Amino acid sequence: MFMAERYAEWLKYEFIRVKDFFAASLQAKNLEYSHVVLQDGGDLVDHILAEFGPEVWEDFQTKFIDSSN
């Protein structure tokens, strides 16, 4: 039970981090999106990385997938 609570907290934190990452990526990509703020509980669309260039893909891999960091 203790591990499940820790995992749930970690998962919540990671979801917030990924939403913040995409909001910041949108803002950096285009000034038109400089006001973008994702609301709590919002859903991410499928294939969200398809809209971004290779620099965002690399940044995503470094921050979320690469376990050496």
Mean pLDDT over 52-62 rounds to 86
- Global pTM? 0.61
How many angstroms separate the Cα of 68 from the Cα of each of 6, 11, 64, 65? Answer: 22, 19, 10, 9
Instruction: Identify the residue with better confidence: 65 or 43.
Output: 65
Tens digit of each residue's pLDDT (9 = 90 or more) over 4-49: 999 999 998 888 888 888 777 766 555 555 455 555 556 677 887 8
How much is the pLDDT for 31? 54
How many angstroms separate the Cα of 40 from the Cα of each of 7, 17, 32, 43? Answer: 19, 12, 22, 9
Range of the domain at 6: 2-65
H-helix segments, the chain: 2-29, 54-60
Count of domains observed in the chain: 1
Residue 2 pLDDT more than 60?
yes
Choose among 60, 54, 47, 62: nearest CA to 18: 60
Mean pLDDT over 44-69 rounds to 80
